[in-house]
Amino acid sequence: MGPIRCSRCKAYINPFMSFVDQGKIFICNLCGFSNDTPREYLCNLGPDGRRRDANDRPELSRGTVEFVASKEFLVREPMPAVYFFLVDVSMNAVHTGATAAACSAISQALSDLPEGPRTMVGIATFDSAIHFYSLKRAQQQCCSIKFYLFILLNSVKFILLLQIDSDKTIVVTFKHDDKFQENSECAFQCALLYTTVYGQRRIRVINISLPCTSMLSNLFRYADLETQFTYIVKQAANGIASTPPSQVRDQVTSTCINILQSYRKYCASVSSSGQLILPEALKLLPLYTLALIKSIGLRNDGRIDDRSYWISIVSSISVFLAVPLVFPRMIALHDLASRDDEYSLIPNPLTLNSENIQDDGIYLLENGEDGFIYVGNAVNTATIEQIFGLSSLAGVPNQLVLEQFDNELSMKVNEVVNEIRRQRCSYLRLRLCQKGDPSGDFFRSLLVEDKAPGGLSYVEFLIHVHRQIQSKMT
Rounded Cα gap, residues 17 and 253, in angstroms? 41
Rounded Cα gap, residues 298 and 244, in angstroms? 9
Residue after which a domain boundary falls, among 155, 178, 212: 212
342 pLDDT exceeds 70?
no
Q: Is residue 115 part of a domain?
A: yes
Beta carbons within 8 Å of 429's beta carbon, 6+ residues apart: 96, 98, 369, 370, 371, 399
Residue 415 pLDDT level (bands cut at 50, 70, 90): very high
User: Residue 192 — φ and ψ, nearest 5°?
Assistant: -120, 115
Q: Are residues 70 and 140 in the same domain?
A: yes
Q: Is residue 450 part of a domain?
A: no
Q: Are residues 314 and 337 in the same domain?
A: no
Least confident of 113-122, 424-433, 452-461: 113-122
Residue after which a domain boundary falls, among 212, 232, 247: 212
Q: What is the tally of structural domains in the chain?
A: 4
Rounded Cα gap, residues 230 and 227, in angstroms? 5
Q: Are residues 185 and 76 in the same domain?
A: yes
The amino acid occupying position 415 is E
Q: Are residues 77 and 190 in the same domain?
A: yes
Q: Quick one: average pLDDT of 292-321?
A: 91
Q: What is the pLDDT of residues 128-185, one digit of tens each?
A: 999 888 776 544 443 533 332 233 333 345 677 767 777 777 888 888 888 888 888 9
Q: What CATH number is attached to the domain comprising 57? A: 2.30.30.380
* pLDDT score, position 150: 31
Q: What CATH number is attached to the domain comprising 410? A: 3.40.20.10
The answer to whether the beta carbons of residues 440 and 374 sit under 8 Å apart is yes
* pLDDT score, position 231: 94
Q: Is residue 89 part of a domain?
A: yes
Rounded Cα gap, residues 135 and 141, in angstroms? 6
Q: Are residues 462 and 314 in the same domain?
A: yes
Residue after which a domain boundary falls, among 212, 231, 251: 212
Cα four-point dihedral sign 334, 437, 445, 449? positive
User: Residue 66 — φ and ψ, nearest 5°?
Assistant: -120, 140
Rounded Cα gap, residues 342 and 157, in angstroms? 51
According to DSSP, the residues that pair with 85 across neighbouring strands are 123
Its domain, for residue 413, covers 328-445
- DSSP letter (8 states) at residue 129: S
Helix, strand, coil fractions of the chain, as percent rounded to 5: 35, 20, 45
Residue 349 pLDDT level (bands cut at 50, 70, 90): very high
Q: Quick one: average pLDDT of 408-415?
A: 95
Share of the chain above pLDDT 70, in %: 94
Q: Are residues 419 and 356 in the same domain?
A: yes
